[in-house]
Amino acid sequence: MKLSILLKRVLFIGVLLAIWQGVYMSGYFPAIQFPPPTKVFQAMVEGFADGKLVSALLASFKHLLIGLGLAIGIGTLIGVLLGKSRQADETAGMYLIAMQSIPSIVWVPLAIMLIGLNETAVIFVVVLGGTFVMALNTRTAIHSVPPEFIKAARTMGTKGMRLFFKVEVPASLPYFMSGIRLAWAFSWRALMAGELLSNGPGLGYSLRYAMDFAQMEVVIGIIIIVGVIGSVVDQLFFSKMEKKVMRRWGLLK
Amino acid sequence: MGCAYMFLQVNNVAKTFAEHEVFSGIDLSIHENQFVSLLGPSGCGKSTLLSMVAGLEAATEGSISLGGKTILEPGTDRGMVFQQPALFPWLTVKDNVTFPLKDKLSKKEQDQIAAHYLKMVHLTRFKEAYPHELSGGMQQRVAIARALAMDPKVLLMDEPFGALDEQTRHILHDELMKIFQETKKTILFVTHSIQEAIKLSDRVIVMGTRPGRIIADFPVDVERPRQRDDSRVIELEQEIMELLKGEINKVLKEELDHETKHFT
Ligand SMILES: Nc1ncnc2c1ncn2[C@@H]1O[C@H](COP(=O)(O)OP(=O)(O)OP(=O)(O)O)[C@@H](O)[C@H]1O
Ligand SMILES: [Mg+2]
């Protein structure tokens, strides 16, 4: 069962590569616009070998870790405030949804004008990309604490801070984890948007650099890397953690 | 009042939720170590009354006192078991049971208490399990052990076996009877089942609705363990059934009138 799924997936990629190779060999597109898979692969290997892609990746991860960390922290604070205070929620909750609906690339010009063409501007965009979705999910997490948990805890003489930290916080963990996973996904997108228009270093910057020098094989290579990292980190880390929590919390069989 | 001192005393209590009056003028006196059931049509305010004794809801009028002290907020002298077990899924069975004890006792004392009550509900083997690994009946037993762990004077139970299958329910009836006799708790027990109320209680209080009020108070003068085919049990069952039928018909009739008024 498990093996057959793997086989199907490998086969699928194989077919895609074959079609790609076929289109290339048909000569419909000029080779400079449409490199074959082998050339893209070669560009990736070279990029890793000479360290350019590695340092770009490291720079990107640095931006992401700082930005995502701040987004999770700030988002959690805003979310808890809105989740606990009805007053705050009625006042600001609507605007949070509005902010969340703004695509993160929109923040790039603002960040550059405000902060300059540097890494801080990129991190700023990453923070904006992740904060609102984190805040919204934290708010939902607090709101969706089953009232029977609170009632049961209160009948056991639990109240105040202890009620919050020993019951509401752990009870809201599943939605909170979804928030972290989504914050990562949004931050990752924001990171690429920010870096694409930045002055480097970073994966997005390398992408634009390759475009400027008409290196289509590098462009495609980086797109593949971005996609692979995005899905691998989600599958191996965030989705796994979320599922683990959901299972323990009895929300998933 | 000058008469005998009552352990749990509900004095002329009323509850109103935003204009909607659930009940008023409720008086109820319960002895220590008495098992009292509350029966009544849906919506008559059984859960509300229980929540008020628990201190989760405040009385709009009147007062409730336990051992001479007015109830103002929840406290560890009253344990509550709900229809849903409401166990904390992030804690093991043992940690759920010791939850109400945290910060008050040493680790060792807590473990002893947990072991004692888990043994009482026959779940010693599952002390390291998580709630989602247990059946509904087992979860409810953990909830009972958790409520008992803080050694409350009163155990409040709101349809605790309502979500369980017939067989599990009977097993838990027997366990609860044993616990009641062993621990000498005072139990206030809400149920929809006339049989369950008669099987378990010393007294069955029947509530009516619109407005919510107490319409009857039956002492169950039958030796335990009680048999379903005992003539006195059957007699009581029929008496209570008649009373409740009248109440339920009243609700149905009112709802029908209400609808015809609005939709014709
Ligand atoms: N928090 C609340 N806010 C507003 N109305 C409430 C609230 N809790 C209960 N009520 C109302 O009070 C009435 C009594 O509710 P309660 O839950 O006590 O009834 P019950 O006798 O326990 O019913 P059931 O047998 O269905 O559990 C109902 O009409 C209900 O709608
Ligand atoms: Mg109820």
pLDDT on residue B2: 41
Separation of A63 CA from ligand 2 center, angstroms? 54
- Residue A117: name the closest of A126, A130, A107, A108 by CA: A108
A-contacting residues in B 96-115 (Cβ below 8 Å):
99-100, 102
Question: ipTM score of the complex?
Answer: 0.90
Evaluate whether residue B67 is within a structural domain: yes
Same domain, B26 and B146: no
Is residue A129 within 8 A of residue A157, CB to CB? The reply is no
Q: Taking 80 as the threshold, does the pLDDT of residue B264 lie above it? A: no
Which residue CA neighbors atom 17 of ligand 1 most closely?
Answer: B47
pLDDT band at residue B93, thresholds of 50, 70 and 90?
Answer: very high
Domain containing B233 equals 1-77+156-247
Among residues B151, B178, B193, which one ends one of the domains?
A: B151
pLDDT on residue B5: 62
* Cα angle value B131/B53/B144 (rounded, 5°): 25
A-contacting residues in B 205-244 (Cβ below 8 Å):
none
3-state secondary structure of B50: helix
In this structure, are strands B69-70 and B186-190 parallel, antiparallel, or unpaired? unpaired
How many folded domains does chain B comprise?
Answer: 2
pLDDT on residue B254: 79
Q: Which residues of B189-198 are buried (b: 16+ CB within 10 A; e: fewer)?
A: bbbeebebbb
Helix (H) or strand (E) holding B23: strand B20-30
What is the best residue among B15, B17, B42, B215 to mutate for testing ligand 1's pocket, by most ligand atoms within 8 Å of CB?
B17
Same domain, B236 and B166: yes
Q: Does residue B82 sit at the A interface (CB-CB below 8 Å)?
A: yes
How far CA B118 is from CA of A85, B188, B250, in Å, comes to 39, 22, 44
Residue in chain A closest to B150 (alpha carbons) equals A156
pLDDT on residue B1: 44
Same domain, B232 and B172: yes
Parts of chain A with a pLDDT under 50 = none
pLDDT band at residue B260, thresholds of 50, 70 and 90?
Answer: confident
Evaluate whether residue B26 is within a structural domain: yes
Mean pLDDT in chain B? 92
Same domain, B48 and B164: yes
Same domain, B45 and B166: yes
Which residues are bridge partners to B216 per DSSP?
Answer: B206
Q: Taking 60 as the threshold, does the pLDDT of residue B218 lie above it? A: yes
Same domain, B110 and B160: no
Ligand nearest to the CA of B56: 1
CATH top-level class of A51-248 = mainly alpha
Q: Does residue A156 sit at the B interface (CB-CB below 8 Å)?
A: yes
Evaluate whether residue B184 is within a structural domain: yes
A41-58, pLDDT tens digit by residue?
Answer: 999 999 999 999 999 999
Count Cα atoms within 13 angstroms, Cβ side, for B167.
0
Is residue A53 within 8 A of residue A44, CB to CB? The reply is yes
Same domain, B142 and B17: no
**Shortest distance, CA A237 to any CA of chain B (angstroms):** 20
**Shortest distance, CA B241 to any CA of chain A (angstroms):** 31
Same domain, B146 and B160: no
Is residue B46 within 8 A of residue B91, CB to CB? The reply is no
Same domain, B170 and B233: yes
Is residue B244 within 8 A of residue B40, CB to CB? The reply is yes
Instruction: Give percent of chain B above pLDDT 90.
Output: 84
Which of B91-100, B114-123, B239-248 is predicted least confidently? B239-248
How far CA A144 is from CA of A76, A149, B85, in Å, comes to 15, 11, 18
Evaluate whether residue B22 is within a structural domain: yes
B80: chain A residues, CB-CB within 8 Å: 151-152, 155
pLDDT on residue B248: 82
Q: What's the CA gap between A148 and A129, in Å, rounded?
A: 35
Same domain, B73 and B164: yes
Evaluate whether residue B204 is within a structural domain: yes
Evaluate whether residue B259 is within a structural domain: no
Is residue A89 within 8 A of residue A122, CB to CB? The reply is no
Residue B168 sits in a domain whose CATH number is 3.40.50.300
B-contacting residues in A 118-147 (Cβ below 8 Å):
146
Each domain of chain A, given as residue ranges in start order, spans: 51-248
Same domain, B113 and B13: no
User: Which atom of ligand 1 lies at the shortest distance from residue B190's CA?
Assistant: 22
Rg of chain A taking only CA atoms, in angstroms: 22
Same domain, B132 and B16: no
Written as six digits, the tokens of A248 are 């323990």
Does the global pTM surpass 0.90? no
Return the amino acid letter for A128. Answer: L
Evaluate whether residue B260 is within a structural domain: no
